[in-house]
């Protein structure tokens, strides 16, 4: 347990928050500012929203002696990313009426609204709740949205696994009534001391916590970017149980080598009946042993690396009263979504749409009317929608008779992008500017242009049929999981990025820094000869990241503790 004196300020805010209530209600009433009191902005995360300001307008507002243009971003909690057509219509209406417009699909299978003014936060939360969607625990130091492989009805097994993901999510929800009191006007609990948080305790977790459920061979949920992952073990069409992996994560800080992205470590196999017991065991071990004195060292990956896997397992087993069994073999071969149509076991069809950087907008400049297109599809479609962990959208369980109409609508509204190259389809960027308070460089607004330039190079060397996983983030927090890509750009300063290479295209190996702090010209000058070499020298079926490792352009990194090391004999790895 951490020493009380050294606890971070956030720990104190949580402790005195009366289970996440703070003074959020009072702050909402204050119309003299568009902002909330600073302490409450830590607590609102647990309710699913962040205070932001438009960074494009900061200087102008400062010159005009105005406070920053504050608004809020709200993230919904949608385990496994499944939304009915009826719910889609409701979230669309809210986007039009109460936000800055549009929706943003995230890298964790949910959606965000941006640009919500303070007085609209409550009506918005009430609106999504009326549609049976909530935002509690979408952010904050608790377990967040549980990811699940996106084609859960492709077979009965997928459905069963999706239901397991939902069960884990429910089991780990905070118990506080604060959300219902503040946003849904439910009766207030008079004596909050009697309100118990049996899993989290009064100060919740030391840091955010993330869970994914994967169905091999698809690693579409990026198990290695999660604190805890369940990998379904299937034999002869039957779900035997899950291998558990723990301690994955992406966040790091430039120049601080004791922070690093990490690959999850194997804990062992657990029976299906024990999935929630083990989720609770891992979460409470992290609750009690995670570092509450330094938020940069507070994620589960550091708890496990400091304690050692065997010791960590021992603590979990003591709490659960159940032992881990020997991990069973599995293999991932795919990292990305499968675009286009796929038939389900029940004869219905799933259509995976490529939504570039997850942004769904009705463009003003005569560009695609994406929101409208999806609304029309939701009107006609009786199945559901599934958000993927790579910011794309599946129109799921489409009746065979509706396939042609759905496809036509998707094409007419820029949602079915047959022109998108494989490079583009496999690219992903985080939100970054203008809304993200932590962004050091552009990502979502810039990557599409950079991809166009990279497409030129890839085409020139005859590699347009080669999927290469390219990811960009505006800072090293890693929201688009760049450290698991084959080529990663991580923002350092406006227009400048660190270039990393060497992921394996399956999300099971980390990238390594290749060049630091470079702008577009140098990015293209660096990558072109490497891509040319790859085109000439690659082995059959060899991906770009694997080629970079085989030819020792970068060393292979399977443990984040090696992320900053520079082994001798490797070209440029010491940059």
Closest CA to 282 of 380, 167, 168: 168
- Which positions are catalytic? 75, 144, 208, 210, 430, 436, 475, 479
Contacting residue, 299, 313, 335, 506, with ligand SRM by CB under 6 A: 299
Contact 34, 118 (CB under 8 A): yes
Q: Residue 203 touches which of ligand SRM, ligand SF4, none (CB < 5 to 8 A by kind)?
A: none
438 is a site residue for ligand SRM (CB under 6 A): yes
131 is a site residue for ligand SRM (CB under 6 A): no
Contact 509, 556 (CB under 8 A): yes
Q: Residue 473 touches which of ligand SRM, ligand SF4, none (CB < 5 to 8 A by kind)?
A: ligand SF4
Q: In the complex with ligand SRM, which residue's Cβ is closer, 150 or 466?
A: 150
Q: In the complex with ligand SF4, which residue's Cβ is closer, 250 or 501?
A: 250
DSSP 325: B
**Which residues are registered as beta bridge partners of 147?**
212
Q: CB 438 → ligand SF4: shortest distance, Å?
A: 4
Which one of 14-22, 87-95, 105-113, 565-573 is the stretch in contact with ligand SRM (CB under 6 A)? 105-113
Task: Write the CA distances from 223 to 27, 34, 36, 149, 353, integer angstroms.
Answer: 38, 38, 35, 10, 22
Indicate the angle between helix axes 403-412 and 370-380, nearest 10 degrees: 170
Q: What is the dihedral of CA 539, 540, 545, 550, to 10 degrees?
A: -30
* Of residues 466-495, those binding ligand SF4 (CB under 6 A): 473-475, 477-479
481 is a site residue for ligand SRM (CB under 6 A): yes
Contacting residue, 81, 247, 249, 507, with ligand SRM by CB under 6 A: 249
Residue by residue, DSSP assigns 233-247 as: EEETTEEEEEEEEE-
112 is a site residue for ligand SRM (CB under 6 A): yes
Q: Residue 475 touches which of ligand SF4, ligand SRM, none (CB < 5 to 8 A by kind)?
A: ligand SF4
| Dihedrals phi, psi of 92, to nearest 5 degrees | -65, -45
Residue by residue, DSSP assigns 475-541 as: STT-TT-GGGSSEEEEEEETTEEEEEE---SSS-SB-EEEEEEE-HHHHHHHHHHHHHHHHHHPPTT
What number of chain residues touch ligand SF4 (CB under 6 A)?
13
* Of residues 32-71, those binding ligand SRM (CB under 6 A): 50, 52
Two tokens, residue 10: 């956030």
* Of residues 419-448, those binding ligand SF4 (CB under 6 A): 430-432, 436, 438-439, 443
Contact 14, 202 (CB under 8 A): yes
> Around 424, how many Cα atoms within 13 Å sit in the side-chain half-sphere?
20
Q: In the complex with ligand SF4, which residue's Cβ is closer, 148 or 431?
A: 431
Q: CB 56 → ligand SRM: shortest distance, Å?
A: 12
DSSP 57: G
Q: In the complex with ligand SRM, which residue's Cβ is closer, 270 or 475?
A: 475
Q: Residue 144 touches which of ligand SF4, ligand SRM, none (CB < 5 to 8 A by kind)?
A: ligand SRM
| Interface residues toward ligand SRM, by CB under 6 A | 50, 52, 73, 75, 106-108, 110, 112, 144-145, 208, 210, 222, 225, 249-251, 299, 358, 391, 430-431, 435-438, 477-481
């Amino acid at each position: 347990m951490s020493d009380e004196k050294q606890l971070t300020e956030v720990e104190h805010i949580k402790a005195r928050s009366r289970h996440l209530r703070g003074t959020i209600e009072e702050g909402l009433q204050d119309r003299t500012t568009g902002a909330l009191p600073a302490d409450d902005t830590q607590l609102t995360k647990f309710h699913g929203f962040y205070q932001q300001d438009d960074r494009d307008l900061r200087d102008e507002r400062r010159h005009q002696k105005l406070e920053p243009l504050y608004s809020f971003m709200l993230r919904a909690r949608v385990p496994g990313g499944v939304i009915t057509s009826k719910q889609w219509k409701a979230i669309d209406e809210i986007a039009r009426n109460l936000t800055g417009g549009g929706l943003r699909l995230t890298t964790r299978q949910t959606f965000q609204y941006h640009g919500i003014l303070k007085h609209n936060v409550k009506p918005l939360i009430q609106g999504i709740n009326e549609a049976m969607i909530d935002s509690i625990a979408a952010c904050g130091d608790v377990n967040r949205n549980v990811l699940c492989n996106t084609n859960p009805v492709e077979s009965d097994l997928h459905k069963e696994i999706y239901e397991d993901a939902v069960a884990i999510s429910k089991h780990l929800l905070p118990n506080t009534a604060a959300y219902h009191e503040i946003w849904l006007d439910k009766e207030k609990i008079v004596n909050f001391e009697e309100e118990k948080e049996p899993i989290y305790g009064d100060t919740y977790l030391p840091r955010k916590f993330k869970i994914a459920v994967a169905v091999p061979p698809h690693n579409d949920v990026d198990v290695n970017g999660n604190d805890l992952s369940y990998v379904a073990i299937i034999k002869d069409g039957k779900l035997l149980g899950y291998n558990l992996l723990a301690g994955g994560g992406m966040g790091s800080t430039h120049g601080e080598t004791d922070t690093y992205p990490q690959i999850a470590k194997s804990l062992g196999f657990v029976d299906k009946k024990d999935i929630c017991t083990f989720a609770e065991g891992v979460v409470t071990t992290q609750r009690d042993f995670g570092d509450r004195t330094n938020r940069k060292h507070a994620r589960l990956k550091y708890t496990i690396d400091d304690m050692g896997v065997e010791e960590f397992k021992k603590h979990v087993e003591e709490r659960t009263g159940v032992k881990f069994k020997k991990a069973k073999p599995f293999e991932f071969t795919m990292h990305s979504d499968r675009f286009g149509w796929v038939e389900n076991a029940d004869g219905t069809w799933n259509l995976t749409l490529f939504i570039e950087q997850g942004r769904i907008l009705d463009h003003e400049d005569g560009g695609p009317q994406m929101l409208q297109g999806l609304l029309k599809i939701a009107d006609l479609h009786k199945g559901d929608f599934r958000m993927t962990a790579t910011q794309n959208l599946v129109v799921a369980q489409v009746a065979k008779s509706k396939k042609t109409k759905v496809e036509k609508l998707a094409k007419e509204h820029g949602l079915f992008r047959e022109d998108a190259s494989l490079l583009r389809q496999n690219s992903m960027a985080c939100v970054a500017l203008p809304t993200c308070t932590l962004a050091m460089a552009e990502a979502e607004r810039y990557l599409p242009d950079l991809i166009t330039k990279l497409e030129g190079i890839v085409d020139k060397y005859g590699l347009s049929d080669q999927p290469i996983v390219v990811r960009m983030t505006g800072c090293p927090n890693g929201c688009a999981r760049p450290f698991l890509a084959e080529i990663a750009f991580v923002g350092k300063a406006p227009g400048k990025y660190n270039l990393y290479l060497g992921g394996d295209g399956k999300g099971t190996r980390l990238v390594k820094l290749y060049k630091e702090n470079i702008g577009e010209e140098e990015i293209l000058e660096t990558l072109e000869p490497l891509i040319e070499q790859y085109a000439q020298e690659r082995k059959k079926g060899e991906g770009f990241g694997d080629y970079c490792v085989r030819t020792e352009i970068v060393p292979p990194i399977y443990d984040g503790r090696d992320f900053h090391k520079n082994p001798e004999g490797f070209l440029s790895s010491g940059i």
